Structure 1
């Protein structure tokens, strides 16, 4: 360092009570030589031209000068050419003429030499020095294979660095960066930073070499987001983490399917756990390198699969290239597993599709090591020129005698969305092609009245037209059961039923079974006959409390799907009510004919009134449990003839009435 000197004459005065205080006027004077005072390193006793933070220096006279120690003052101030304010050296006087720097940078040392303790003119000399910092170097140490370690030195202001492993020889000079050293786990690496122009100033830092932790890299998931070459998403585990963001110790590599052992680097990186990269179809693996580059480990290869798809003849075909350590595949359709396939499979034909409908496929591969690889998604629009299979048709009456046609798939699957059903009738009021019905509706009601259908029993077919415009063959004709009922005896105490044969989608090869259902007015089943294959039935014991008998026939079999039946129309038999009233009774208490009671069939909701010869009402009944003992308003029976009237509205809505006379005999 080249010193700067300022000589000034200081006129000063020792004031009473202020002994030892230096206060004077400074004037510039030329120093007697280049170094009017020198700096001595306290630890080594050698003269220095620069200082170190934390290292003490002492100031002595130079140029052969001789000044009594009691007349010398030294002062240290930061900056260059910085002198004490008003040349007052007393406040900042250095004890024992010694200075220990606390911060790096420029410092000005000023010396005041007084001529005597009694006062007079003093001399001030000034020298500028540079203080060097001594921070601990910034270092990081990582373990490597083969009893080695990676040492990384970050710039700390020194000109050079030296490393020492335990008590071994110093290695250097080194520059900031990363270097490999022979150092086993548990060794201590000490780094010393030094300056070229100031060998006394240095800083040290130490670190222990950690134990090398074995890492097994892995690619848990690989997801292809589009046709390859295209974006691929990776997740990583078992990475090695570098001490710096610039040290790339993990490497993503790829091999072509045709050469699965020849890997090439795709990208090197430090430590992300997820990554996206546009890349080709191939096998991807993750390589880890130790920080010294002495060892490497590799993950299990994971395939990036490119899936393609096409459609023809109402079947979708997806294909892919099978390669890599795949244990099994799962093919997803619209996000739901469709099929599990063994390793080595490279093609799948999906025939369970509907023409015109789009389907999205994705292949999920599971490797032997448990990693998951998802292919790109591919959407296939189903196309075909093949006619769809003919549907099955059922014709059945409801309880209101409406005939409903219902189409279903022979496979039991739902009818294809977006298609149409075209129903046809033969017989009945006449042949008719009904308007097309959407497959989502799947049913059609024939508006023809029941009488027209009974007069000419109809049969029906249906065709299915898919969304691609392909039309199936007509379904097998279906003919519903048409039922008729008549009294089997003059009194209507028994009923005979007859019906037309049911023809279902499996007729005539598939047999038909019939059961006769006896119904209440609200359609509730009151009785069910045993199954029969005949077309007639005699009901020998119909309900005795019902004027109107109601029946329907249930047909099953004949190719109808399991659990499906067809019902006939509801047929009714209305029987005539019958009333029996005696022409006389004897209310004499002998237990024979003591009361007047009504007898007959299907009597309900009636009014029965008896009047005397004056037209006065003497008895009224509204159900058959009410009887007349001949008394009139509490009085004993009076012999004579009485007139009765009976009226009711029967189950068919018809009025039924009778009149007559009854005689009381005592």
Structure 2
């Protein structure tokens, strides 16, 4: 223990002597000497991390030796008598040796370079034609090496090298097929060290039987939004790009790409001008081999609405080789096929005014279908529809007029208007009173059908705004009373001839009875029921062919309530005119009051069968004049009052 203390004191005294000369860095000292892993001299020693070093003193007679394996220029560095050390991280390090030789301190520094040997990241890609491409990821790992070495493991070829600053890609073509192993490593050029680079990175690759000519377009579909979608068979990890060629131009890249295999789709924009366009794919593998696919015409359809017809036209399909037919679709159904590639127009006359039709053309070849974007167009027409030939007017129970018209045979459309005109007499003038959209019925609530007959004309307006001529004039049947007879207007309420009139009588108990009167326009109702105060009548007319029925307004016959009272009576017990009572018909509620000459009530009754017997509070009333007042309500609820005087005789 005492010896170690003495040695340490002598060592630091020696170091202190150096410190008075160069206090900042002991590497400026002299007299030292050691080898690193057997390498003498003063040159730097290079090794791969982790790097184990062993130092050996080469100064004869030196003693009190110590080392710092990562000296950074400290004034008082830590030292150790250990002669081995392990560097785990890449970097540049200095080993400091200190000691003494005789009475003189010695020192020496040597540099150790520890380099990274992380293997580069490598991608091996098979290309068409048995070609293989090596791609090294461009990062700090790859750039630290002086060189990258590629071993193709091909007896017919030597290794390839990529030097610093060169593109980190290489290609090689093998003969034959099957599986190959490609190895890549990083290389350091320093031959004095023990590290010449990384471990080999081995990748197995199966030589590709890829044929770029298998990429083919099978379908092109243009869309209304100005894009088109093409379907094709792709190759996994091989890029295909959409190319477009305008009419009379050359193919240009669209930037739309895909590198997935199998059945694929890509969508690209179609320019608004310069068409029609041709489309094809350019397929390029990782080795730069490129091949263009079959070309397909993008079909473009135009439609023009003309009178009673839609005119359609489209571009000629190209290439002509393999062309089979054009298919023209309307609303999703094929309406025409053309096997001649030069047939580029079609006129569709099977159209209806105001209807919207959706057209599409499909060009079909042996291996491809090209679909245009759908085009919608509304058919137009200037032709006037036929006049309405079947219609009817009828009065409803609420007094309104119901009108029904059937659309004409020619010029009829799915959407339409019925225009209704009215006049208060047959000759006119007629004014429009209503329009019904997409229905053949209309109700005229403004007509006062109990006061007169109204005449109507009906017009049909189709979806193109074309109006027909007016229909025949149709008039409501107006029922009125002339004295005790019923009469009605003779004008037709429908477009057929009049067949038979029927007079309908409605009873208060809810029953009805009807009487056919032929073509007569009057009727005597014969109000002969003594128990019925009120009678309701209506006329129904049936057309000659039996297809139409029309009703008139409803009319009421009402008989007034009747009251019969004597002027005098003689309550003398002879059973002749002994009681003053009311006789009458058609009343329900009843009240009779008798007044004396002073206006006093001397008798009252609410029973019509009970009359005044000529007594007042049980005593015989004196002869003379008296006043009566009778109040009733008839069977319809109408009030009635009758007053008068009577003479009491004894």
Match of 1:482 among 477, 483, 488: 477
Note if contact 1:391-1:463 (Cα within 8 Å) is conserved in structure 2: yes
Aligned partner of 1:249 in structure 2 is 239
1:203 Cα deviation from its structure 2 partner: 4.0
1:423 Cα deviation from its structure 2 partner: 3.7
Note if contact 1:40-1:48 (Cα within 8 Å) is conserved in structure 2: no
Aligned partner of 2:373 in structure 1 is 375
Note if contact 1:408-1:415 (Cα within 8 Å) is conserved in structure 2: no
Note if contact 2:328-2:361 (Cα within 8 Å) is conserved in structure 1: yes
Counterparts of 2:45 and 2:335 in 1: how far apart (Å)? Answer: 82
Aligned partner of 1:53 in structure 2 is 49
Aligned partner of 2:15 in structure 1 is 23
Alignment of 1:217-296 (within 5 A): 222-225=221-224, 231-234=226-229, 242=237, 249-252=239-242, 269-270=257-258, 275-278=267-270, 280-281=275-276
Aligned partner of 1:460 in structure 2 is 457
**Change beyond 3 A, Cα 1:131–1:626:** farther
**Change beyond 3 A, Cα 1:617–1:485:** farther
Aligned partner of 1:387 in structure 2 is 384
**Change beyond 3 A, Cα 1:350–1:162:** same
Counterparts of 1:656 and 1:631 in 2: how far apart (Å)? Answer: 24
Note if contact 1:152-1:178 (Cα within 8 Å) is conserved in structure 2: yes
TM-score normalized with structure 1 length: 0.60
1:316 Cα deviation from its structure 2 partner: 4.5
Q: Does 1:172 align with 2:179?
A: no
Match of 2:116 among 129, 133, 140: 133
Deviations 1:58-101 (A, max 9, x none): 45578xx6565863635345xxxxx5312x4544x594355535
Counterparts of 1:617 and 1:209 in 2: how far apart (Å)? Answer: 136
Deviations 1:19-43 (A, max 9, x none): 765733265899999x97655489x
Match of 1:195 among 166, 188, 196: 188
Aligned partner of 2:342 in structure 1 is none
Note if contact 1:422-1:433 (Cα within 8 Å) is conserved in structure 2: no
Aligned partner of 1:8 in structure 2 is none
1:287 Cα deviation from its structure 2 partner: 7.7
Aligned partner of 1:335 in structure 2 is none
**Change beyond 3 A, Cα 1:425–1:31:** same
Counterparts of 2:387 and 2:152 in 1: how far apart (Å)? Answer: 90
Counterparts of 1:387 and 1:112 in 2: how far apart (Å)? Answer: 117
Aligned partner of 1:415 in structure 2 is 416
Counterparts of 2:148 and 2:158 in 1: how far apart (Å)? Answer: 13
Aligned partner of 1:577 in structure 2 is 560
Q: Does 1:160 align with 2:148?
A: yes
Alignment of 1:628-643 (within 5 A): 628=610
Aligned partner of 1:84 in structure 2 is 73
**Change beyond 3 A, Cα 1:111–1:484:** closer
1:122 Cα deviation from its structure 2 partner: 0.9
Which deviates further from its counterpart, 198-207 or 162-171?
Answer: 162-171
Note if contact 1:146-1:294 (Cα within 8 Å) is conserved in structure 2: no
Q: Tell me the SS of whatever aligns to 1:387.
A: coil
Counterparts of 1:537 and 1:291 in 2: how far apart (Å)? Answer: 104
Counterparts of 1:649 and 1:119 in 2: how far apart (Å)? Answer: 158
Which deviates further from its counterpart, 550-559 or 153-162?
Answer: 550-559
**Change beyond 3 A, Cα 1:535–1:94:** farther
Note if contact 1:76-1:108 (Cα within 8 Å) is conserved in structure 2: yes
Counterparts of 2:516 and 2:479 in 1: how far apart (Å)? Answer: 18
**Change beyond 3 A, Cα 1:545–1:375:** farther
Deviations 1:115-149 (A, max 9, x none): 33x7522132444x654322221123456789886
Aligned partner of 1:308 in structure 2 is 302
Deviations 1:400-445 (A, max 9, x none): 65667777743474435xxx958475845x5314269777699796
Counterparts of 1:50 and 1:557 in 2: how far apart (Å)? Answer: 124
1:196 Cα deviation from its structure 2 partner: 4.3
Note if contact 1:145-1:295 (Cα within 8 Å) is conserved in structure 2: no
Ranges in structure 1 where 5+ consecutive residues have no aligned partner = 1-12, 78-82, 243-247, 332-337, 587-593
Q: Does 1:507 align with 2:496?
A: yes
1:277 Cα deviation from its structure 2 partner: 2.8
Counterparts of 1:111 and 1:308 in 2: how far apart (Å)? Answer: 89
Counterparts of 2:491 and 2:99 in 1: how far apart (Å)? Answer: 145
1:109 Cα deviation from its structure 2 partner: 2.7
**Change beyond 3 A, Cα 1:415–1:379:** closer
- C-alpha RMSD of the superposition: 6.6
Counterparts of 2:227 and 2:189 in 1: how far apart (Å)? Answer: 52
Counterparts of 1:202 and 1:67 in 2: how far apart (Å)? Answer: 41
Aligned partner of 1:122 in structure 2 is 106
Deviations 1:240-295 (A, max 9, x none): 664xxxxx61233569999xxx9997656245986433355567676877656899
Note if contact 2:299-2:315 (Cα within 8 Å) is conserved in structure 1: yes
Note if contact 2:38-2:56 (Cα within 8 Å) is conserved in structure 1: no
Q: Tell me the SS of whatever aligns to 1:23.
A: helix
**Change beyond 3 A, Cα 1:401–1:180:** farther
Ranges in structure 2 where 5+ consecutive residues have no aligned partner = 318-322, 339-344, 572-578
**Change beyond 3 A, Cα 1:102–1:31:** same
**Change beyond 3 A, Cα 1:353–1:165:** farther
Counterparts of 1:658 and 1:637 in 2: how far apart (Å)? Answer: 27
Alignment of 1:485-634 (within 5 A): 498-504=488-494, 506-507=495-496, 527=512, 534=519, 547-551=534-538, 553=540, 567-568=551-552, 570-577=553-560, 579=562, 600-601=585-586, 603-604=587-588, 606-609=589-592, 611=594, 616=601, 618=603, 620-621=605-606, 628=610
Alignment of 1:5-20 (within 5 A): 18=9
Counterparts of 2:298 and 2:282 in 1: how far apart (Å)? Answer: 17
Counterparts of 1:180 and 1:537 in 2: how far apart (Å)? Answer: 115
Q: Does 1:341 align with 2:326?
A: no
Counterparts of 2:187 and 2:207 in 1: how far apart (Å)? Answer: 30
TM-score normalized with structure 2 length: 0.62
**Change beyond 3 A, Cα 1:19–1:531:** farther
Aligned partner of 1:112 in structure 2 is 97
Note if contact 1:518-1:525 (Cα within 8 Å) is conserved in structure 2: no
Q: Does 1:431 align with 2:419?
A: no
Total equivalences in the alignment? 576
Counterparts of 2:423 and 2:298 in 1: how far apart (Å)? Answer: 58
Note if contact 2:65-2:81 (Cα within 8 Å) is conserved in structure 1: no
Aligned partner of 2:575 in structure 1 is none
1:223 Cα deviation from its structure 2 partner: 4.8
1:201 Cα deviation from its structure 2 partner: 1.7
Note if contact 2:64-2:100 (Cα within 8 Å) is conserved in structure 1: no
**Change beyond 3 A, Cα 1:269–1:208:** same
Note if contact 1:39-1:48 (Cα within 8 Å) is conserved in structure 2: no
